[in-house]
Amino acid sequence: MTYAIKAPARYAQGAGELANLGRSAKKLGNKFLVICTDNSRGRFGAQVEASLAEQEKEVVFTTFHGEATKDEVFAKMDECRAQGCDVVVGMGGGKALDTAKAVAENLGLPCVIIPTVASNDAPCSGVAVLYNDAGVVIKAVLMRRNPDLVLVDTGIIANAPRRLFAAGLGDALSTWFEARACKNSGARTMARGNVSNTGLMMARLCYDLLMEKGRDALAAVERHEVTPALEDVVEATIYLSGLGFENGGLAAAHAVNDGFAQEPQAHGMYHGEKVAFGTLVQLVLEKAPQEELEQVLGFLRDTGLPLTLAQLGVKEIVPETLKKVAEAAVVPTQSTKNLRADITAQEGYDAIFGNRTSRGDGFSRAVVEKVLCAVLWTYFHVSVPDANAPFRLMKADYVAEYLPLMPENYNLPNALMTAFGAYFHRKIRFIPISFKPRQGGTNSINIRKIVKIGRQALHDFCEIQKAAAKKRG
């Protein structure tokens, strides 16, 4: 067994750090090729040029055109050689940075990375992901060394869009769970070794900082303010997550992200948003503890990261397309194998439902719940702990099978979904959830309504039975 650890030669972070670029990079070379968008150059180019000029360094700017393709890399290599540059700088988002890393790797030159957003954990890694013109991943270039300098100006990060910062939280969220899975399975990492204790603990520290300070850091970005929480979380999302995934490994969360390349509706979503959803999928696949699942669900909800396919941009459920997503996530070359080698596209729960452990909704509504559960047991021998809890996480094929069987003018959709799944022997997992006490208004439930609700639930489920029998026969 071999342990391997990779990291950038130098990492510098702080408010106003861009002004120190010249001093930090002065020993790397004399003529710097800066790869960035026209927007980034307009905002930060003068500062970059001034800082390097203080050290008597030359600067050549070249425009990044938005996609990290082989053609873009080759074009920048040609320009670097033509200009006689001896240092490659990437400034901007993840794809601009990956392009710069690939150029530096191919030319054997020092590499400087200046992220202007904290939307992913790419800056510190020795990995450059390349895409085709359609934005589909085609190759991950494993570099011989990590960047020579990663310089993070938190003043710039604090003024970036909230959604981009939240996406970085989503990308970092997966780091601990994927590293843990790789440690348990004995998988090898992108550092070309097994998971070391160092890699595992960096991943764990990343997760702990997100849980403790991630919400506060996001609030600081909304105010465009650099705070201690923001500094700590930027360190987590860029440095700890970058080293954590490279030295700790990848598993199902990133494989699910890659799988969504098969779903055109999700192409407008950021990498970190899809990874966050993939993290949830991984936790379900590995039957994570309920407390852990609840913690992740709460973090996703509080930060606005996607909990559902609709929030991921998938407004129209097409089972065939989502099947392709699942299949792409479990091909032998994907990192899902690091979770467990025998995972299939059909595996996992069809649905996760809530089970209210503390209700906060009054006695009468608790009676309604008991009536529903009694109806299901008496007439259909379906036993569930909570028939009408509002929390639902369902696979697309589950929904696609269920919706056509719904009666007209149905009532209590949550109860019907629960009953449908239990009666037709679909795989359902109940997790404990708690509700806050009622904040206002009055309870309108009475005995007459309870009877009416129970009768309606019985009628609706009978209709589902009839529709299912007709469909089967």
Phi, psi of 25 (to 5 degrees): -110, 5
pLDDT band of 290, cuts 50, 70, 90: confident
Higher-confidence position of 219 and 418: 219
For residues 208, 211, 215 and 221, what is the CA-based torsion angle, rounded to 10 degrees? 30
H/E segment holding residue 150: strand 149-153
Instruction: Enumerate residues 6+ apart whose C-beta is below 8 A from 94.
Output: 115, 119, 120, 122, 129, 271
Strands 351-358 and 392-394: antiparallel
The pLDDT of residue 444 is 65
pLDDT computed for residue 434 by the predictor? 67
Report which DSSP code applies to 436. Answer: P
Give me the pLDDT at residue 378, please.
77
Confidence bin at 341 (pLDDT 50/70/90): confident
pTM score, whole prediction: 0.77
pLDDT at 91: 98
pLDDT of residue 364: 65
What is the average pLDDT across 302-326? 87
Q: Quick check: 435 pLDDT over 80?
A: no
Per-residue confidence (pLDDT) for residue 261, from 0 to 100: 86
| pLDDT the model gives residue 18 | 98
Q: State whether residue 404 is helix, strand or coil.
A: helix
For the segment 359-418, what is each residue's pLDDT rounded down to a tens digit?
Answer: 555 666 677 777 778 877 877 777 888 877 777 777 777 777 777 888 777 777 777 778
Q: Where are the beta strands (DSSP E) in 15-148?
A: 31-36, 58-63, 87-92, 111-115, 127-131, 137-142
pLDDT for the residue numbered 232: 98
Quickly list DSSP for 272-324. Answer: HHHHHHHHHHHHHHTT--HHHHHHHHHHHHHHT---STTTTT--S--HHHHHH
Query: Radius of gyration of the chain from Cα atoms?
Result: 26
Q: Given phi > 0 = left and psi -120 to 50 = alpha, else beta, which region is 313?
A: left
Q: Which fold has domain 168-338?
A: Dehydroquinate synthase-like, alpha domain (1.20.1090)
Exposure of 31 in the CB half-sphere (CA atoms within 13 A): 9
- Residue 435 and residue 353 in contact, taking contact as beta carbons nearer than 8 Å: no
What's the whole-number average pLDDT of the chain?
Answer: 88
Provide the token pair at 461. Answer: 């489920």
pLDDT at 164 over 80: yes
Percentage of the residues of the chain whose pLDDT score is greater than 90: 56
Integer Cα distance of 345 and 255 in angstroms:
12
Reported as a single tens digit per residue, the pLDDT across 3-26 is 989 999 999 999 999 999 999 999
What was the pLDDT predicted at 346? 67
Q: Is the pLDDT of residue 253 over 80?
A: yes
Is residue 358 within a helix (H) or strand (E), and if so which, with residue range?
Answer: strand 351-358
Asked whether the beta carbons of 120 and 171 are under 8 A apart, the reply is yes
- Cβ neighbours of residue 363 closer than 8 Å, sequence gap 6 or more: none
So what's the pLDDT on residue 442? 62
For residue 153, list its beta bridge partners.
Answer: 14
Q: Give me the mean pLDDT over the 130-138 stretch.
A: 82
How many angstroms separate the CA atoms of 430 and 436, rounded? 19
E strands present in 359-469: 392-394, 428-434
Find which of 187-191, 202-206, 359-363 is predicted with most confidence, using mean pLDDT. 202-206
In the predicted structure, residue 445 carries a pLDDT above the cut 70 = no
pLDDT score, position 333:
84
In 190-266, which ranges are continuous DSSP H helix?
Answer: 197-222, 228-234, 241-248, 252-259
For residue 443, pLDDT beyond 70:
no
CB 232 within 8 A of CB 213: yes
| pLDDT at res. 376 | 77
Which of the pair, 198 or 395, is modelled with greater confidence? 198
Same fold, 11-159 and 168-338: no
Which residue ranges make up each domain of the chain? 11-159, 168-338, 351-472
Cα angle, residue 424 at apex, residues 466 and 353 outer, rounded to 5°: 120
What are the structure tokens assigned to 20, written together? 């120190």
- Of 155-169, 291-305, 390-404, minimum mean pLDDT range: 390-404
The pLDDT score that the predictor gives to residue 437 is: 59
- Helices 363-380 and 413-423, packing angle to 10 deg: 30
pLDDT digits (tens, 9 = 90+) for 62-100: 999 989 999 999 999 999 999 999 999 999 999 999 999
Burial class (CB in 10 A: 0-12, 13-18, 19+), 27: exposed
Lowest mean pLDDT among 35-44, 133-142, 143-152: 133-142
CATH architecture of the region 11-159:
3-Layer(aba) Sandwich (3.40)
Return the higher-pLDDT residue of 417 and 334. Answer: 334
